[in-house]
A and B are shown apart, each in its own frame.
Chain A
């Protein structure tokens, strides 16, 4: 147990740094999900299973999905705008 918790803290720090350092939004979302997973494991090791449940479901499933959907929506919007611009003969 004494080794596990420092290791998990390290994992949280590493995955958190990964979130901050990823520059591509889609990858950043995945990095965030990984960070959520690491946090959930840490909560589990610290004997807070209630919080761990919530963190797993919200941090690794719900939140990344909403971000991915927003990214997809933005991309679809951009594509539609570019198409409109091309159809009207305007430079995009």
Chain B
């Protein structure tokens, strides 16, 4: 398609869509206005009913806890699929792969190493903090888990691939991912064992503004934190491994074919 035809097509599409777009844009609610009553209702009743001050966590883990279960297993499915595809011929190798032959190793500056070392540990700690304080302040298992895994990336920046790979055991990360998701599901079944609906809170709710308020939500939050931190770390590991290998398995297959 030549650029001229493309521009013509674009102009045509704009002509067709502009009236509809203008109609919608002119009838949008005012900026910041939220006509739906759900958020206000949660804000009004959440602290009294669930003893937590972060309503996002209350919605995620209690009011709509079942949705989060779905998301948790979506993440598990995505990570499992990616790991299966990328590991493919490589398998679960234990030994640390060697440097790719022919690729120059650029020395990192001391400043990068120092900053990444300092920030890496601090970021992991901050992630744990965010995950722990899910019920009281903004953040939660997902956010904390992602922050922890990005802290692990800083460790990669500081230590280089070999050092990083030595610290990252893929079987531990796999276990984190799987057991986190399982823990979440088990919380639901625990409620059912107690004769209550799935994911109904069965633990004491605790005091408002206390770190350990929220009962079952705390366990679910821990499950999400482990699953997300482990899942993202598995993704990083598998992707980074792709740049490393000279793909012996692939080569053999090509020779056979």
Which residues in A have some Cβ–Cβ distance to B below 8 Å? 49-50, 53-54, 57-58, 61-62, 65-66, 69-70, 72-73, 76, 79-80
Contacts and interface: CB of A to CB of B under 8 A. Distances in A.
Given A57-B150, A62-B149, A62-B150, A73 B243 contact: yes
A70 B232 CA distance: 16
B143 A50 contact: yes
24 contacts: A49-B139, A50-B56, A50-B138, A50-B139, A50-B140, A53-B143, A53-B147, A54-B142, A57-B143, A57-B146, A57-B147, A57-B149, A57-B150, A61-B153, A62-B150, A62-B153, A62-B235, A65-B153, A65-B236, A66-B235, A69-B239, A69-B243, A70-B239, A79-B102
Contact of A53 (B103, B139, B239): B139
Contacts of A62: 146, 149-150, 153, 232, 235-236
Contacts of B138: 49-50, 53
Contacts, number: 52
Interface residues of B, number: 24
A51 to B, nearest CB: 9
Closest 9 CB pairs of A and B: A49-B138, A57-B146, A53-B143, A61-B150, A69-B239, A72-B243, A73-B242, A50-B56, A73-B243
A60 to B, nearest CB: 9
Instruction: Identify which of A49, A57, A73 gathers the most chain B CB atoms within 10 Å of its CB.
Output: A57
Given A49-B138, A50-B56, A57-B150, A66 B143 contact: no
**SS class of chain A's interface: helix, strand, loop or mixed?**
helix
Given A50-B143, A66-B239, A73-B243, 11 more contacts: A50-B139, A50-B140, A53-B146, A54-B143, A54-B146, A62-B149, A62-B153, A62-B232, A62-B236, A70-B239, A70-B242
A76 B243 contact: yes
Contacts of B112: none
Contacts of A66: 235-236, 239
Contacts of A58: 146
A57 to B, nearest CB: 4
A14 to B, nearest CB: 20
B109 to A, nearest CB: 19
A30 to B, nearest CB: 16
A11 to B, nearest CB: 17
A76 B100 contact: yes
